[in-house]
Structure 1
Amino acid sequence: MVFPNMADRTLDASGLRCPMPLLKTKLELNAMASGERLEVIATDAGSARDIPAYIKLSAHELLSYKEDNGEYRFVIECGG
């Protein structure tokens, strides 16, 4: 398990509705260097499906995922 304090950046997408958490995640990853880690915090239930699905189709890696009382946290390592 990767802990949130191991992330280089944090994107707080709380309160945003689909598709904004995913779009903001993509934009943030595009601005990052390979190997950097991004923590994403979202409250939209669609994020639990959309973000992992996007990561599977990309060069990035989902290091951890946690859901707690409607809050979704992802730690993603930026790929090339």
Structure 2
Amino acid sequence: MADDAIEIYDLKGLNCPLPVLKAKKRLAGMQPGHRIWLETTDPLAVIDIPAFCNEQAHRLIETAAADGCHRFLVERGA
């Protein structure tokens, strides 16, 4: 799947625990193996999103800082 075809889920402006809760709900509706970019301004997301992925068996593919936010490329687990 091309990088520009991956959906971006804007979670900017939301504070803990909302980015993880909303990401969990969005990922639950996706097919295993599909990817999504999560964008958040919550400083705790750099801890929370990787921990969430680990607990829920999703794959954290990439993290990046961009335009005042953090981006997380997550692949839906089985």
State the TM-score bracket (shorter-chain normalisation): 0.7 to 0.9
Structure 2 length-normalised TM: 0.88
Aligned equivalent of 2:45, options 43, 47, 56? 47
Amino acid corresponding to residue 66 of structure 1 in structure 2: A
Residue identity over aligned pairs, in percent, reads 35
Structure 2 residues without counterparts, runs of 5 or longer: none
Change (3 A) 1:17 1:30: same
Structure 1 length-normalised TM: 0.86
68-77 or 50-59, which moves further after superposition? 68-77
Q: Which residue of 2 aligns with 1:15?
A: 13
- The offset of 1:70, in angstroms, is 3.9
Structure 1 residues without counterparts, runs of 5 or longer: none
Tell me the distance in 2 between the aligned counterparts of 1:66 and 1:76.
12
CA RMSD of aligned residues (A): 1.6
- TM alignment of 1:1-80, pairs within 5 A: 4-7=3-6, 9-68=7-66, 70-80=68-78
Tell me the distance in 2 between the aligned counterparts of 1:19 and 1:70.
19
Q: Once the two structures are superposed, what CA deviation does each residue of 1:50-72 show, in whole Å capped at 9, x if it has no partner?
A: 00011111221000001246411
Change (3 A) 1:29 1:18: same
Amino acid corresponding to residue 59 of structure 1 in structure 2: A
Amino acid corresponding to residue 5 of structure 1 in structure 2: D
